Amino acid sequence: MTMTIKEIASLTGVSVATVSNIINNKGRVGEDTRARVEKVIREHHYRPNSVAKNLKTKTSRSIGVIAEDMTVFVMPEIIDGITECCEENDYQILLVNLRLYKKYSDTYYKTNHHRERVKAEIQKLISMQVDGIIYVAAHERVNDVIPKNLPIPVVMAYSFSNRGEVPSIVVNDQGGAEKITEYLLSKKHEKIGVIAGKKESIHTLSRLEGYQRALLRHQIFYDPDLVVYGDWDRQSGHDAMENLMKKSPTAIFAMNDVMAGGVYDWLKEHEMTPGKDVAVVGYDDQVMSAYENPPLTTVGLPLRDIGYKAGEEIIGMLSSGDTYKAESRIDVDCRLCERESVFDYRG
């Protein structure tokens, strides 16, 4: 069907070794033969069979990407980042889509069934000779699905691995919250109500810390009554406002865009306009936040950067072998998405 190196060799009257050397610019080759061989290669559109090459070299320049669920909003950007990095370094991607949300609803990470599945997929990838694996989680959490003692490096994106040899690439959530609080502060808002996420969430915790740090830096007293907990839903954002507004904050920091939408709802119901009577900011930079009225100022998750960094990390581990000292955890900074839901407060 397609050509082999042997055919090229006989076509040009040289040995396969020479052809191989020419293809990979190795060894000493005469200018004339090189030219002759390259010409034939070009004319016949010859491409080395990489399967044979991989078998011989025991490397595939490919990395396995295991995505917990393709359809969760964080995935495309993360994978885009991974592919960008891999493209730059000439690595291929073998994609595995676990489809966890579809299969086990959203409690999958509590079941054991899926651990077995991950283990099996990793084995399969290893048998395909991938050089390394990136596991991409659908949401941040402590994630211990990666089996121990794997013969190839693994990095975890968007979750915390609980082991040092598996580096974690995660969002600098505290930094993000600090950044947006700083922003509010810079607009002279000092009484900032916060609608937090679920109490047990890792995000809620770090974002709260970030909020507090910003206040601290500006020597503003932290008032616990100014924070109300929601459950990430729009409705809960709406409902939280009832209590929150009793303290008459001039700005609201909702810990995700969806709840910020609920804040908009409440405000409009009460004849107030967001970004004018009360400043409101969200978190995540979900698509709809740009379509809200007014467009929501929020903090953008560094999704693509996480993917890119994950790629860098694994390729780093690969290219320098043991000498490469992987960070066990990398926090990637968020960016501020300034839109129109915040005004300058003049007390």
Residues in contact with DNA by the rule CB under 7 A: 3-6, 13-18, 20-21, 23-24, 26-30, 32-34, 48-49, 52-53, 55-58
Q: Please tell me the distance from the alpha carbon of residue 300 to that of residue 332, in angstroms, as a whole number.
A: 11
Q: Are strands 192-196 and 227-229 parallel, antiparallel or unpaired?
A: parallel
| Nearest by Cα to 38 from 49, 51, 28, 24 | 24
The site partner of 10 among its own copies, DNA, none (C-beta below 5 to 8 Å per kind) is none
Question: Minimum distance from CB of 57 to DNA (Å)?
Answer: 5
Angle between helices 5-12 and 16-23 (to 10 degrees): 110
Reading the block at residue 249, the tokens are 């904050």
Of 41 and 306, which CB lies nearer to DNA in the complex structure?
A: 41
| Closest CB 311 distance from its own copies, rounded Å | 12
Segment (H or E) for 305? helix 303-319
Comparing CB distances to DNA, the nearer of 42 and 56 is 56
Query: Which is closer to its own copies, CB of 250 or CB of 297?
Result: 297
Q: How far apart are CA 171 and CA 83, in angstroms?
A: 19
Residue 221 interacting entry, from its own copies, DNA, none, C-beta within 5 to 8 Å by type: none
Which residue, 261 or 274, has its beta carbon nearer to its own copies? Answer: 261
Shortest reach from residue 174's CB to its own copies, in Å = 27
Shortest spacing between CB 261 and its own copies, in angstroms: 7
154 binds, among its own copies, DNA, none (CB under 5 to 8 A by kind): none
Q: Do the Cβ atoms of 342 and 303 come closer than 8 Å?
A: no
Tally of CB atoms within 10 A around 50:
13
In the list DNA, its own copies, none, the entry touching 172 (Cβ below 5 to 8 angstroms by class) is: none
Which C-beta is closer to its own copies: that of 68 or that of 331?
Answer: 68
Q: How far is the CB of 257 from DNA (least distance, A)?
A: 50
CA distance readout (Å), 203 to 18, 49, 50, 193: 58, 47, 44, 17
Residue with tokens 């206040």: 215
* Closer residue to its own copies in complex, CB, 175/274: 274
Q: Determine the Cα–Cα distance for residues 293 and 105; give it in Å rounded to an integer.
A: 32
Closest CA to 317 of 90, 155, 95: 155
**11 binding partner (options DNA, its own copies, none; Cβ < 5 to 8 Å by kind):** none
Total residue length of the chain: 347
Based on CB atoms, which residue is closest to DNA, 40 or 228? 40
Closer residue to DNA (CB): 32 or 322: 32
Question: CB of residue 7 vs its own copies: minimum separation in angstroms?
Answer: 15
Least distance between its own copies and beta carbon 36 (Å): 22
Q: Residue 197: CB partners within 8 Å, gap ≥ 6?
A: 203, 204, 207, 229, 230, 231, 232, 255, 256, 259
What are the residues binding its own copies (CB under 8 A)? Answer: 1-2, 45, 47-52, 54-55, 60, 62, 65, 70-71, 75-77, 79-80, 83-84, 87, 92-97, 99, 102, 123-124, 126-129, 151, 234, 261, 265, 287-288, 291, 293
